[in-house]
Structure 1
């Protein structure tokens, strides 16, 4: 029978595989949206089955880890955290899928000027950067690295909050663009939600490493 340390390392490898897969999905959805690339968007849609399959596999393996080893302390926190991290990553994949589905269903590319006004590319890049940071934090078991995503999430929230005002103002100037703006607003909401999911993952890593629960706390930045 596989021992606890070997089993835990195997689970961590599967977690890294999920991170890699969901990052590819999110990055492809960005490129597909900016370039209105239907083929790339279709690739994201077809890869969704891989995300779902790995999600189920990790969930089953976590249950098996608990049943076989009856873990305690840091080992128990690890497996509990991984189950939640896996769940949040699967939802990141869902948002990449949703964005790509918009591309397949909408024939008209979005005007580049609208993207600039809504700081769309800046927001997407921040989301991908957050995902990179949190993957490194998971790989290196680095709680301080995990905390860095909280600051970046504020940028996503700021752009999201300003988007409605920008859209309201611009639609009055040119009502013919309302469908494109509404599409962009929907995608921005999804990226903002991706940021929330990544901060959830950061909380789980901190919980696993330091036994500190940040959920519902008012301040999620570094300790002073």
Structure 2
């Protein structure tokens, strides 16, 4: 029978494979979006099958790890964290799929001025930078690197919030821009959600390494400060 350490290392490598695959999906969806490349967008849609297959494999392998080894302490935290990380990565893949689907189905050319004003490139770059950080954090089990994504996520939230004002301003100037603006807004919403999913992954890495649960802590701090 496979040893616990061998099984754990195999799981770890499969998780890293999922990270790389979902990052590549987002990179390709970004390039397809800015270059209006239907062929590359189709590749992202096709590769979604690999993402889904790997998602199912990791989920099954985690269940088998628990059943065979009855893990405790850090081993248990590892497998619990990996299951949640895998779920979040699959959702990131879904959002990359959705962005690519817009390119194929909507087929709306976007004015470069609008993309710059709504800071879409900046948002893609920040999201991919967060994925790079989280890959390093996962690979090295480095909670300091994992925490870097929290600050970058604030940039995504800021761009998302500012987009409402930009849309209102631009539509008043020219109502014919509404289709382009709504497409950009849809992409921004997906990137903002990807940022949230990446912060979830960071929290799971911290949970695994430090046995510290970060979920809901920010909300509790806000409530205490308001009391």
Question: TM-score, with normalisation over the residues of structure 1?
Answer: 0.97
Q: CA deviation at 1:146?
A: 0.4
Q: CA deviation at 1:97?
A: 0.2
1:163 and 1:93 mapped to 2: Cα distance?
Answer: 24
Q: CA deviation at 1:218?
A: 1.1
Partner residue, 1:49? 49
Partner residue, 2:161? 161
Partner residue, 1:198? 198
- For 1:49-88, what aligned pairs fall within 5 Å after superposition? 49-88=49-88
1:104 aligns with 2:104: yes
Give yes or no for contact 2:157–2:192 (8 Å, CA) kept in 1: yes
**What is the CA deviation profile of residues 59-109 of structure 1, one whole-angstrom value per residue up to 9, with x for unaligned ones?**
000000000000000000000000000000000000000000000012232
1:15 and 1:2 mapped to 2: Cα distance?
Answer: 18
2:108 and 2:22 mapped to 1: Cα distance?
Answer: 26
3-state DSSP class of the match of 1:215?
coil
**What is the CA deviation profile of residues 107-142 of structure 1, one whole-angstrom value per residue up to 9, with x for unaligned ones?**
232111110000110011000000010011000000
2:110 and 2:33 mapped to 1: Cα distance?
Answer: 8
Partner residue, 2:89? 89
**What is the CA deviation profile of residues 165-185 of structure 1, one whole-angstrom value per residue up to 9, with x for unaligned ones?**
111101110110100100100
Q: CA RMSD in A?
A: 0.7
Structure 1: gaps of 5 or more residues: 220-224
2:24 and 2:137 mapped to 1: Cα distance?
Answer: 18
2:22 and 2:109 mapped to 1: Cα distance?
Answer: 24
1:163 and 1:140 mapped to 2: Cα distance?
Answer: 36
- For 1:102-181, what aligned pairs fall within 5 Å after superposition? 102-181=102-181
1:164 and 1:108 mapped to 2: Cα distance?
Answer: 20
Structure 2: gaps of 5 or more residues: 220-227
Partner residue, 2:24? 24
2:31 and 2:120 mapped to 1: Cα distance?
Answer: 12
Partner residue, 1:6? 6
After TM superposition, which residue ranges in structure 1, 4 or more long, deviate above 2 angstroms?
Answer: none
Aligned residues: 219
2:46 and 2:81 mapped to 1: Cα distance?
Answer: 28
